[in-house]
């Protein structure tokens, strides 16, 4: 019961993120300091993202490449929500992941002003995660994928 | 699922059952088998996860062993720890025998990574996985006799001198532990 409620809340969260993304896209284009990728000339962002972003495997004991998610980077100041930026083995940005603790969802905590990448979202996954180093509590992964499902499947190899 | 210990024991019985003892070679094998130090064969506990990391567990979640047995935790999927309920481990409440050594494997990151502990003091040993405790990834081992802090209710320590600042066992973990009675009855309890 709690999980389904939290799932609905997570859905509302990502919907809010997407709406917020669309509504503020123009402002963000003008405010280059809000962009996650300092190299604005690149048509496809590549790892590493630069700025305050650090490789997750350098911060906590996790593998460099996480099957199903990619190589993750995060600005530690934004934990636990993120976004975490996921890159494939060719160092192309493939996703942004927001990690939302279950207890925050149940407490109806708001997450606003989360950064977004300037990429077209192909689809969104909302998946329960039991915890891992860095976010050691049950939480939801709200994943904005910039690649189609067949490319996502390649990340599991 | 069988542990390596169970598999070896079953294999030994199978050898006997197939009547392979009379040949010289088999007799040698039988002597080798009889001389095997069972205490040196680790009791395996697997550290598991589904593909998405949504569900995580120890398998078996409950096990009975004799004093002096070495227990080996081995990662099959995901990232885990095996960590004793002991105040030395982030002020968790004491749920292993007072005379036993606390353990903490640290993060075991790759499939096949493992950690061994030899359990000598009789009693109940409760342990958890650091990143997954709140999700209920815990386990229980009964060594010889079901005695000690691990055999008591989760809140038995509350109000006792020297327990200030101890941390409760999370709700999900409390519900996940198999009962001592079930472990004694089944010897290996699977989730």
Beta pairing class for B69-75 and B43-49: parallel
Percent of chain A having pLDDT more than 70?
72
Higher pLDDT, B32 or B90: B90
A111/A98 Cα distance (integer angstroms): 10
The reply to whether omega before A80 is within 30° of 0 (cis) is yes
- In the predicted structure, residue A38 carries a pLDDT above the cut 90: no
B95/B85 Cα distance (integer angstroms): 5
Contact B55 A130 (CB under 8 A): yes
Q: Which residues in chain A have their CB less than 8 angstroms from residue B50's CB? A: none
pLDDT band, residue B41 (cuts 50/70/90)? low
- In the predicted structure, residue B33 carries a pLDDT above the cut 70: no
- In the predicted structure, residue B15 carries a pLDDT above the cut 80: no
pLDDT at A30: 33
Tell me how crowded residue A135 is: count the other CB atoms within 10 A of its CB. 20
B33/B23 Cα distance (integer angstroms): 15
Report the candidate in B75, B131, B61 with the shortest Cα–Cα distance to residue B108.
Answer: B75
- Exposed, middle or buried: residue B99 (CB in 10 Å: 0-12, 13-18, 19+)? exposed
- In the predicted structure, residue A36 carries a pLDDT above the cut 60: no
Distance from CA of A76 to the nearest CA of B (A): 18
pLDDT tens digits, one per residue of B115-143: 999 999 999 999 999 999 999 999 999 99
Contact B78 A132 (CB under 8 A): yes
Size of the A and B interface in Cβ pairs below 8 Å:
51
pLDDT at B3: 42
Average confidence (pLDDT) over B62-67:
97
| Phi, psi dihedrals of residue A144, rounded to the nearest 5° | -90, 115
Reported in sequence order, the residue ranges of B7-122 that DSSP labels E, i.e. its strands, are: 43-49, 56-59, 62-65, 69-75, 83-84, 114-119
Least confident of A40-44, A104-108, B92-96: A40-44
Q: ipTM beyond 0.90?
A: no
Percent of chain B having pLDDT more than 90?
76
pLDDT at A76: 94
Q: Report the Cα–Cα distance between both ends of chain B, in Å, rounded.
A: 11
- In the predicted structure, residue B180 carries a pLDDT above the cut 80: yes
pLDDT at B155: 95
Buried b / exposed e across B116-150, counting CB within 10 Å, b at 16+?
ebebebbbbbbbbbbbbbbbbbbbbbbbbebbbbb
Q: Which among B54, B130, B132 has the least Cβ separation from residue A127?
A: B54
pLDDT at B13: 32
Residues 6+ apart with CB under 8 A from B125: B84, B95, B96, B97, B100, B119, B140, B141, B142, B143, B150
Average confidence (pLDDT) over B99-110:
95
Query: Edge-to-edge, what's the strand order for the sheet holding B56-59?
Result: B56-59, B43-49, B69-75, B114-119
Crossing angle of helices B24-34 and B4-17, in 10° steps, is 140
Least confident of A14-18, A73-77, B91-95: A14-18
Please answer whether residues B61 and B191 qualify as being in contact, where contact means their C-beta atoms are separated by less than 8 angstroms: yes
Length of chain B: 191
Average confidence (pLDDT) over A3-24:
40
The H or E element containing residue A57 is helix A56-59
The H or E element containing residue A20 is helix A2-23
Q: Which among B53, B55, B106 has the least Cβ separation from residue A132?
A: B53
Length of chain A: 157
pLDDT tens digits, one per residue of B148-179: 999 999 999 999 999 999 999 999 999 999 99
- In the predicted structure, residue A80 carries a pLDDT above the cut 60: yes
Residues 56-95 of A with CB under 8 A from B: 61-63, 68
Please answer whether residues B137 and B128 qualify as being in contact, where contact means their C-beta atoms are separated by less than 8 angstroms: yes
pLDDT at A47: 77
Strand partners, A135: A132
Least confident of A22-26, B44-48, B78-82, B153-157: A22-26
pLDDT at A156: 79
pLDDT at B35: 52
pLDDT at B5: 45
SS3 A132: strand
Q: Which residues in chain B have their CB less than 8 angstroms from residue A128's CB? A: 52, 54
* Residue showing tokens 């004491």: B94
Structure tokens at B137: 């990834």
- In the predicted structure, residue A89 carries a pLDDT above the cut 90: yes
The reply to whether omega before B60 is within 30° of 0 (cis) is yes
Q: Which residues in chain B have their CB less than 8 angstroms from residue A61's CB? A: 79, 106-107, 109
């Amino acid at each position: 019961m709690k999980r389904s409620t939290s799932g609905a809340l997570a859905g509302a969260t990502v919907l809010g993120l997407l709406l917020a993304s669309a509504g503020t896209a123009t402002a963000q284009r003008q405010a280059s300091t809000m962009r996650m990728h300092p190299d604005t000339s690149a048509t496809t962002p590549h790892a590493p993202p630069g700025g305050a972003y650090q490789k997750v495997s350098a911060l906590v004991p996790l593998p460099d490449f996480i099957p199903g998610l990619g190589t993750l980077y995060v600005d530690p100041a934004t934990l636990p929500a993120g976004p975490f930026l996921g890159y494939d083995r060719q160092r192309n940005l493939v996703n942004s992941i927001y990690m939302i603790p279950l207890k925050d969802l149940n407490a109806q905590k708001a997450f606003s002003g989360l950064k977004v990448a300037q990429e077209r979202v192909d689809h969104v996954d909302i998946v329960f995660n039991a915890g891992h180093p860095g976010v050691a509590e049950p939480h939801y992964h709200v994943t904005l994928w910039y690649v189609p499902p067949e490319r996502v499947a390649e990340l599991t190899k | 699922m069988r542990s390596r210990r169970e598999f070896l024991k079953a294999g030994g019985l199978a050898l006997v059952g197939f009547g392979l003892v009379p040949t010289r070679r088999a007799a040698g094998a039988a002597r080798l088998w009889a001389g095997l130090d069972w205490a040196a064969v680790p009791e395996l506990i697997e550290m598991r996860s589904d593909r998405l990391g949504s569900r995580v567990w120890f398998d078996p979640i409950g096990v009975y062993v004799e004093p002096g047995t070495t227990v080996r935790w081995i990662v099959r999927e995901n990232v885990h720890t095996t960590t004793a309920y002991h105040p030395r481990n982030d002020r968790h409440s004491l749920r292993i025998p007072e005379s036993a050594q606390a353990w903490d494997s640290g993060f075991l990151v790759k499939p096949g990574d493992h950690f061994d502990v030899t359990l000598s003091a009789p009693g109940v040993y409760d342990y958890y996985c650091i990143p997954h405790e709140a999700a209920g990834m815990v386990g229980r081992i009964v060594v010889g006799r079901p005695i000690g802090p691990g055999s008591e209710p989760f809140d038995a320590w509350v109000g006792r001198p020297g327990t200030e600042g101890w941390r409760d066992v999370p709700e999900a973990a409390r519900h996940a532990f198999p009962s001592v009675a079930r472990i004694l009855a089944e010897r290996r309890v699977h989730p």
